[in-house]
Amino acid sequence: MKTIALIGNPNCGKTTLFNRLTGLNQTVGNWPGVTVERKSGSLRLMDETLEVIDLPGLYSLSEGGGADEAVARGYLHTFDGLIVNLLDARQLERQLFLTLQLLELGHPILVALGMTDLARAEGMQIDTAALGRALGVPVVELVATSEAGVASLKTALLAPWPGKPATLHYEEPVASALQTLREVLPTATDDQRMAALEGLAMDGAMASQVASVRQRLASQYGDDADIAIADARYTAIGQLMQHVRRSAERSRTSRRLDTVVLHRLWGLPIFLMVMYGLFAWATHVGGAFVDAVDGVADALLVQAPVRALAALGLPDWLGFGLGNGLGEGIKTVATFVPTIGMLYLALGVLEDCGYMARAAFVVDRLMRALGLPGRAFVPMIIGFGCNVPAIMATRTLEGRHARVMAGMMLPFVSCGARLPVYALFATVFFPGDAGGVVMSLYLAGIAVALATGLLLRHSVLRGDATPAVLELPDWHWPSLHSVFKQAWSRLKGFVQGAGSLIVPMVLILAFLGAVDMQGRLRPDAPDDSLLANGARLLTPAFAPIGIQRDNWPAVVGLVTGVLAKEAVAGTLASSYARLAGKAAADETPPALAGQIRDALATIPAKFAELGARLLDPLGLKVAESDVSDQLGAAEGADTALKQRFGSVTAAYAYLLFVLLYTPCVAALAALRREFGWRWMLASAGWTFGMAYTVAASYHHFARAAVPVPWLAISATLSGLVVFGLLQRERNPRQVESC
Amino acid sequence: MSKSYSLLDLNSGERATVSGLALAASPLRRRLLAIGFLPGTHVEVLRRAPLGDPIEVAVRGTTFALRREEAAALHVIRFAS
What domains does chain A contain, in order, with CATH numbers?
3-158 (3.40.50.300), 174-245 (no CATH), 269-728 (no CATH)
Amino acid (one-letter) located at A596: I
Contacts of A65 in chain B (CB under 8 A): 26-27
Contact check, Cβ <8 Å, B39/A231: yes
C-alpha distances in Å from residue A169, one per residue of A104, A239, A240: 10, 11, 12
Supply the pLDDT for residue A737: 34
- Cα–Cα distances in angstroms (integers) from residue A476 to residues A347, A581, B65, in the given order: 15, 63, 19
- Nearest in space to A683 (alpha carbons), one of A662, A656, A701, A666: A662
**Residue A466 CB-density burial (10 A; 0-12 exposed, 13-18 middle, 19+ buried):** buried
| Interface touch A60/B53, C-beta < 8 Å | no
Mean pLDDT by 10 residues, chain A (738 residues): 88 82 72 68 86 87 70 84 90 89 89 83 81 89 70 85 82 88 85 84 75 88 88 88 68 82 91 83 81 88 87 84 86 83 85 86 84 81 81 78 90 85 84 79 87 84 68 83 81 76 80 84 79 87 88 87 80 77 55 84 84 70 72 72 87 93 90 88 92 88 59 59 50 37
Tell if the CB–CB gap between A472 and B25 is shorter than 8 Å: no
Q: What is the pLDDT of residue B3?
A: 66
* pLDDT confidence of residue A406: 92
Radius of gyration of chain B (CA): 12
Cβ <8 Å between A467 and B28: yes
Q: What is the pLDDT of residue A726?
A: 46
**What was the ipTM of the complex prediction?**
0.93
Instruction: Give the model's pLDDT for residue A145.
Output: 57
What local confidence, expressed as pLDDT, does residue A733 receive?
A: 37
Nearest to A3 by CA among A51, A46, A41: A51
Asked if B50 lies within 8 A of A268 by C-beta distance, the reply is yes
Cβ distance of A264 and B31 shorter than 8 Å:
no
**Sequential DSSP letters for A680-692:** HHHHHHHHHHHHH
> What residues contact residue A432 under an 8 Å CB cut-off, 6+ apart?
none
What pLDDT shows up at residue A729?
43
CA-based nearest residue in chain A for residue B25: A199
Contact B27 A234 (CB under 8 A): no
Partner A contacted by B47 (CB < 8 A): yes
CA–CA–CA angle A438, A441, A443 (5° rounding): 110
Q: Evaluate if residue B2 carries a pLDDT over 60.
A: no
Per-domain residue ranges of chain B: 5-78
Which of helix, strand or coil describes residue A547? coil
Q: What is the pTM of this model?
A: 0.76
Superfamily of domain B5-78: Ferrous iron transport protein A (FeoA) (2.30.30.90)
Chain B residues near residue A465 by CB distance under 8 angstroms: 27
With 0-12 / 13-18 / 19 or more C-beta atoms within 10 angstroms meaning exposed / middle / buried, residue A586 is exposed
Backbone angles phi, psi at A634, to 5 degrees: -100, 80
CA A670, A689, A552 angle in degrees (round to 5)? 95
- Residues of chain B contacting A738 with CB distance shorter than 8 Å: none
B4 inside 8 A of chain A by CB: no
CA-to-CA distance for A526 and A517, rounded, in angstroms? 11
Beta strands at A82-88 and A109-114: parallel, antiparallel or unpaired: parallel
- A512 forms beta bridges with none
Mapping DSSP to helix (H, G, I), strand (E, B) and coil, where does residue A583 land?
Answer: coil
Residue A68 is predicted with a pLDDT of 72
At residue A413, the pLDDT reads 92
Contact list, B56 vs chain A (CB under 8 Å): 262, 361, 472
**Contact indicator for A64, A14 with CB cutoff of 8 Å:** no
Local structure of A40: helix, strand or coil:
strand
Nearest to A94 among B36, B48, B56 (CB): B36
> Which one of B25, B35, B54 has the shortest CB-CB distance to A361?
B54
Nearest alpha-carbon partner for A447 in A660, A132, A247: A660
Q: Tell me what pLDDT residue A730 has.
A: 43
